[in-house]
Structure formats: C-alpha cells, structure tokens
C-alpha cells in the first residue's frame, strides 16, 4: 500500500514478523568454521527467538587450522541448546540497525578452547583476547543478561616444548554474564561486563568465580575473585603433567581463594590456600618417564616445598602475594591468569 511504499522500514518495524526453519548450515567467510542451527523460531510480537541447537565447529584439524589463521587465535568448538532469547527489540534493529536483547538463556553449553602456546606465530602474533571482538562488531549491540545452565568448559593448552596439551575442565557450569555491550558510554572500567559462574573443577571440587572485565579495554584490564575446594590435589595433574612436567600423586586441597587485579598487563593480588600432604614427582612431560635428573629435581623440589599449609593445624596458613607481569604483549588471557596464579602459589608452596 501507499504507507508501506512511503516508509518500508517503519512499516516493517511496526509489523509482526514470524520466522521458522528446520536447519541451516553456513561456512564463515574465512572457511575455518561452520555454523549449524536447528529448530529456529522467532516472533517479533512476543520479542522471542528460540533455537533448539547451535554448533560452531572448525572445518580443519588443529595444525592446518592454525596455519590458515591470519593472526594468532585459539581454536574453538561450541555446541549448545536449546537457546531462548527474550526481549529482542526487533523494531530498533530494523529501524536503526542497533541490537538490544534483554536475556539470552543457554542450556547445555559445551565449549572447548584449544590454545597452541608452542607455535611460532611470527608476524601473526597479535593479542588473542576474547573481549576484543566486541569493539569490532559493526553495529551497536547490547545484551543485558546471559544465563548458562549446566554447561561444560574444557581449556586445552599446548605448552612450549610439549607434544600433548594439558587440560583444564569445568563441569556443571552455571551462572551468567551481565552488561555485554560495545557502547563506549556503557562499557567503561567503572561499568564492566560481569561474569559470575559456579562449576566443578576437574569434576572434583566446587569452584565459584566473579570476573569484571571492561570489554573495550585495549589491554589486559580485569578483576577476578575466585574460590575452590575441597578436592584431591591429584586432579590437577590433568593440566600440570603435560604443561609443566609435574605429576601430583597425592594431597588434599581444603580451600583456595584468589583475589587478583590486572591493569595494563600487571597483575597484583593475594592467594590464600590450605592444603595437606602434597606429594609430587617431576617427569618428562612428553614421554611420561622419570629419568635420573628428574628424580634429582623431584627430590630437591620435595625438600624445597611445604607438604602442608599450615605446617601444623594450630598455625596460621601462609598467603601468597601476586606481583606478576609478562614481557609478551601478545599473551593470551588464560595463559596470563595461570601465570599470575602460579606467581602467588609459589610464595605459598616454596620454602625458599
């Protein structure tokens, strides 16, 4: 009609739009990932979108995948569903090309991040920080809240000189993220995105964490407060053996608390840790064998470490102060956080 012809954008924004499809698959422009969604339904009147299942999968195995990347990045595999999106401002998106969503609820998230620290990235060694994607989104985007229900996260790191990655796993992940946006007026150091999660670390110990992260920051600026335990220390071997060549055979973690602040790649904070009967050995992380010099290192390490903290039940436990910086300006978020945490833990575990 004449009204629609005069202003088609306004007419569409004020109309009821309903969409549905069984499945769709799309290979991204760089051909490194394929996206597949099934059971898609959307209704502009109810401001709701539902997707039964979504998968983001790499199209190549690890080595050719990393070889094709234009700059340093992790290899990510994601599946989730169902996903329910509520409070979508369809009219604003059609009219102003600005996306505002009140709530995204994600069930059964399965996220696997593979990071190749060993690879010589050369001129492709750009910072690999997940928040940087927000400032590159070409339209204004604002997501008030994202909820995760019973998810799992697996972080695999291939350390320098290793042939197998160490794995850090989080099961039964529940929590949420608030204030996800790329508006410079709303995304500031004083009003960051806030991530609050609880999970099972290595499937063994309870963990909870809150991260405050200004998504438009050009550097590693974030705050973390996290706690974990109780759990058997041997569970950590899934990560430490392949990454550091340290196999933990025994001991109990009673409680761990870390408070960390990072500004421009300089981390400060404190680690509080109570543990008992730590037992470990040093071995070749690639063969799993213990040679003579590994035995010597292991003996020296056991002499130079505290088997328990506190040493006696009546004593106060020793805390570890974090004071960490990294000369690699391209260091990834997880690598930086682990380095900061180890910096504090050394001051607890080591006697010297």
Banded pLDDT at 10 (limits 50, 70, 90): low
Residue 292: predicted pLDDT: 40
Q: Are strands 141-158 and 99-107 parallel, antiparallel or unpaired?
A: parallel
Q: In angstroms, rounded to a whole number, what is the distance separating the alpha carbons of residues 320 and 348? A: 5
10 forms beta bridges with: none
Question: What are the backbone dihedrals phi and psi of residue 234, each rounded to the nearest 5 degrees, phi first?
Answer: -60, -25
- The single-letter DSSP state of residue 204 is T
Residue 286 in this model has a pLDDT that exceeds 70: no
CB atoms within 10 A of CB 176: 17
Does residue 84 or residue 160 have the better pLDDT?
84
pLDDT tens digits, 193-206? 999 999 999 999 99
Determine the average pLDDT of the residues in 94-113.
90
pTM (predicted TM-score):
0.82
331 contacts 72 by C-beta, under 8 angstroms? no
**324: Cβ contacts below 8 Å, ≥ 6 apart:** 266, 267, 268, 339, 340, 343, 344
| Winning range, highest mean pLDDT, from 34-48, 63-77, 156-170 | 34-48
**27: Cβ contacts below 8 Å, ≥ 6 apart:** 33, 34, 35, 59
Residue 53: predicted pLDDT: 96
Counting residues of the chain whose pLDDT is more than 90, the rounded percentage is: 38
**186: Cβ contacts below 8 Å, ≥ 6 apart:** 142, 179
Question: What are the backbone dihedrals phi and psi of residue 345, each rounded to the nearest 5 degrees, phi first?
Answer: -65, -35
Banded pLDDT at 127 (limits 50, 70, 90): low
What separation in angstroms does the CA of 313 have from each of 205, 272, 346? 22, 16, 21
Residue 308 in this model has a pLDDT that exceeds 70: yes
> Dihedral of CA 112/51/194/216: which sign?
positive
Determine the average pLDDT of the residues in 55-63.
92
48 contacts 16 by C-beta, under 8 angstroms? no
Q: In angstroms, rounded to a whole number, what is the distance separating the alpha carbons of residues 145 and 47? A: 15
Determine the average pLDDT of the residues in 101-126.
82
Q: In angstroms, rounded to a whole number, what is the distance separating the alpha carbons of residues 49 and 51? A: 7
């Amino acid at each position: 009609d004449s009204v629609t012809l005069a202003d088609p954008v306004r007419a569409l924004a004020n109309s009821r739009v309903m969409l549905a499809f069984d499945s769709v698959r799309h290979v991204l422009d760089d051909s490194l990932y394929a996206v597949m969604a099934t059971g898609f339904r959307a209704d502009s009147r109810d401001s709701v979108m539902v997707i039964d299942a979504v998968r983001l999968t790499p199209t190549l195995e690890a080595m050719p995948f990393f070889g094709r990347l234009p700059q340093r990045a992790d290899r990510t595999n994601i599946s989730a569903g169902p996903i329910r999106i509520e409070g979508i401002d369809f009219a604003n998106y059609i009219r102003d090309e600005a996306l505002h969503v009140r709530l995204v609820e994600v069930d059964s998230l399965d996220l696997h991040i593979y990071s190749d620290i060993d690879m010589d990235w050369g001129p492709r060694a750009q910072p690999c920080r997940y928040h940087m994607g927000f400032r590159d989104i070409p339209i204004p985007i604002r997501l008030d809240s994202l909820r995760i229900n019973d998810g799992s996260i697996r972080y695999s790191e291939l350390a320098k000189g290793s042939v197998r990655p160490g794995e850090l796993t989080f099961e039964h992940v529940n929590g949420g993220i608030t204030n996800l946006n790329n508006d410079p007026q709303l995304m500031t150091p004083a009003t960051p995105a806030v991530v609050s999660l609880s999970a099972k670390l290595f499937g063994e110990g309870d963990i909870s964490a809150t991260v405050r992260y200004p998504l438009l920051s050009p550097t590693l600026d974030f705050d973390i407060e996290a706690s974990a335990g109780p759990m058997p220390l041997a569970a950590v071997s899934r990560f430490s053996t392949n990454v550091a060549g340290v196999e933990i055979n025994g001991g109990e973690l009673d409680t761990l608390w870390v408070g960390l602040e990072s500004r421009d790649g300089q981390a400060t904070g404190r680690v509080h840790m109570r543990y008992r009967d730590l037992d470990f050995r040093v071995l070749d992380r690639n063969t799993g064998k213990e040679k003579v010099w590994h035995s010597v290192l292991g003996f020296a390490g056991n002499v130079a470490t505290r088997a328990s903290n506190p040493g006696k039940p009546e004593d106060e436990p020793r805390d570890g102060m974090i004071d960490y910086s990294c000369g690699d300006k391209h260091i990834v978020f997880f690598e930086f956080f682990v380095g900061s945490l180890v910096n504090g833990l050394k001051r607890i575990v080591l006697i010297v």
